[in-house]
């Protein structure tokens, strides 16, 4: 009977042994360490959700509580009241942020791809110098280019326009680097075969290169959206008209010019969560693309 039962269990296709059983002691310790590290890295996410739900008596308690004890939505109510009393409707700020983020994603991905493809596959004279110069710009802190950026935007006459928001973000060295490293792995024979068949460079770029490097394109789009969604520099430096400023700038003004440091802290906590959630959702949705890109781009 026991023999028959053992054979019957062995025939069940979904009955599989745990992978932990096939690991040695070191691998099990490593898995446990990575599991603990993953929990540790999730703590900021847990905190920001708990912080947004804390009532005022918990926001200023010392020592601070990591987990909320009496969850409340009064912070979101306060944020809604502050937004409804604003001179400029909050929907205008949201609309501006959506236009800016969407336009930045489209422009950055197109420009980065058009820059990375000839550097990678056409090998024009001086292409290494151009690529090295692009990588060199990664060393500059954003504060060092604020004045030149302001002068460029001012002389182009695009202050108080959506282009004034988008243009300063178009040059993205990280995007060029990721796409270039990904395009390097495309076999040259594939592109030569397409040229022999009569394909133009535009056809090769759009029908062969872009579909293959789509994980890198998605990663650049995610990074661009995260940078554009939370960027308030362009609103502060280039926009004098309040109707052209974005949602992050509005949220940054919640606690400005107040008589004390306590007022609107609940609304600020709720605003931080509102700003964080879109980035989290987009990253979770495209995380497979990000991992695939990092694995093929040479980043350790």
Query: Around Cβ 100, how many Cβ atoms within 10 Å?
Result: 25
Task: Give pLDDT, residue 299.
Answer: 43
Domain coordinates in residue numbering, the chain:
18-72, 89-296
- CB-based burial label for 6 (10 Å; 0-12, 13-18, 19+): exposed
Task: Give pLDDT, residue 259.
Answer: 46
Helix, strand, coil percentages (3-state) for the chain, rounded to 5, are 75, 0, 25
d(CA 129, CA 65): 53
Under the banding of pLDDT at 50, 70 and 90, the label for residue 8 is very low
In the chain, what is the straight-line distance between the N-terminal and C-terminal CA atoms, in Å? 55
The whole-number average pLDDT for the span 78-92 is 81
Range of weakest confidence among 6-10, 61-65, 244-248: 6-10
Task: Give pLDDT, residue 107.
Answer: 94
The whole-number average pLDDT for the span 64-82 is 83
Coil vs helix vs strand at 228: helix
Range of weakest confidence among 23-32, 129-138, 221-230: 23-32
Closest by CA position to 57, among listed 49, 69, 47, 46: 69
Under the banding of pLDDT at 50, 70 and 90, the label for residue 300 is very low
Mean pLDDT over the full length of the chain: 81
CATH code for the structural domain at 89-296 = 1.10.3720.10
Question: Using only C-alpha atoms, what is the Rg of the chain?
Answer: 26
pTM over 0.95: no
């Amino acid at each position: 009977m026991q023999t028959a039962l053992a054979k019957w269990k062995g025939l069940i296709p979904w009955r599989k042994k745990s992978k932990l059983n096939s690991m040695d002691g070191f691998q099990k310790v490593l898995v446990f360490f990575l599991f603990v590290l993953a929990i540790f890295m999730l703590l900021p996410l847990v905190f920001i959700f708990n912080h947004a739900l804390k009532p005022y008596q918990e926001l200023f308690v010392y020592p601070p509580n990591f987990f909320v004890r009496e969850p409340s939505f009064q912070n979101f109510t306060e944020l809604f009241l502050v937004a409804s009393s604003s001179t400029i409707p909050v929907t205008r700020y949201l609309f501006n942020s959506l236009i800016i983020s969407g336009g930045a994603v489209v422009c950055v991905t197109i420009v980065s791809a058009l820059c990375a493809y000839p550097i990678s596959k056409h090998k024009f004279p001086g292409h290494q110098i151009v690529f090295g110069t692009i990588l060199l710009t990664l060393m500059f802190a954003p504060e060092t280019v604020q004045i030149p950026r302001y002068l460029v935007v001012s002389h182009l006459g695009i202050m108080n326009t959506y282009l004034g928001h988008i243009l300063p973000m178009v040059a993205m060295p990280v995007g060029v680097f990721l796409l270039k490293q990904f395009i390097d792995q495309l076999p040259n024979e594939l592109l030569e075969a397409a040229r022999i068949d009569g394909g133009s460079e535009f056809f090769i770029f759009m029908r062969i290169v872009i579909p293959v490097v789509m994980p890198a394109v998605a990663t650049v789009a995610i990074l661009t959206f995260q940078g554009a969604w939370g960027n308030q520099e362009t609103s502060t430096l280039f926009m004098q008209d309040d109707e052209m400023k974005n949602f992050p700038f509005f949220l940054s003004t919640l606690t400005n010019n107040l008589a004390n440091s306590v007022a609107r802290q609940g609304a600020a906590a709720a605003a931080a969560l509102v700003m964080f959630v879109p980035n989290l959702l987009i990253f979770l949705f495209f995380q497979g693309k990000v991992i695939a890109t990092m694995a093929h781009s040479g980043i350790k």
